[in-house]
Amino acid sequence: MKYLAFPLIFMLLLFSGCDLLDDDDDDSSDGGTEVVATNDSSASSSTVVLNAFSDFSCSSGWTNRDGALGLSPHSGSGTCQAIFPGASGNYSITITVQTEFDGTSPYALYINDNGAASGSYPLAPGCGNDCHPDDWRSQCPDRNVNIDAGNHKVSTGDVIKFYGEEDWNCGDHGAYAKWHKITFTRI
Ligand SMILES: [Ca+2]
């Protein structure tokens, strides 16, 4: 066993370094499709995580914005879609978004083109209505928020589609519908 310890520790260090590029303190937005399932017939816990960067095919205009997948300025709106790889069942769905101080991006979630959830991101707190803080990165930095998208029946092979839209709340700068992942927790 001792021969395994060094490679393991080395790999852990490698993986932990991946988060250094993110400017927020959220956990793991990187990595591929993560399917944690039990073979237990009760299927009491099973979680599927679809990563914005690695699991979705997106319309043009999406790019890495401050560590999240967001829209390029003036691209308007865009969609990303993925095929649900998990087992069919009822799931509690959350969308992890990266909120900004200068806009509340509209978003929507569709399952096979049926609307499952929609709304607008909250504002990242700290700057009130001040559109031009001295240093937004320290005063009102982006914050990751889990948006509750409700409970839904999802089947293997369903098309999961995310829609996001820019919001120019501050005239010369705004919010770009930045997001990280969609998590499906079996209920
Ligand atoms: Ca912004």
Buried b (16+ CB within 10 A) or exposed e, 73-103: eebebbbbbbebbbeeeebebbbbbbbbbbb
User: Considering the entire predicted model, what is its pTM?
Assistant: 0.76
User: How remote is the CA of residue 184 from the centroid of ligand 1, in Å?
Assistant: 28
User: How remote is the CA of residue 114 from the centroid of ligand 1, in Å?
Assistant: 30
List, for residues 134-165, the tens digit of each pLDDT value: 999 999 999 999 999 999 999 999 999 999 99
List, for residues 75-111, the tens digit of each pLDDT value: 999 999 999 999 999 999 999 999 999 999 999 999 9
Amino acid at 119: G
List, for residues 8-48, the tens digit of each pLDDT value: 444 444 444 333 333 333 333 344 455 554 444 444 459 99
User: How remote is the CA of residue 58 from the centroid of ligand 1, in Å?
Assistant: 21
User: How remote is the CA of residue 90 from the centroid of ligand 1, in Å?
Assistant: 35
Options 2.60.120.260, 2.60.40.10, 3.40.50.10320, 1.10.3720.10; CATH for 2-186 is: 2.60.120.260
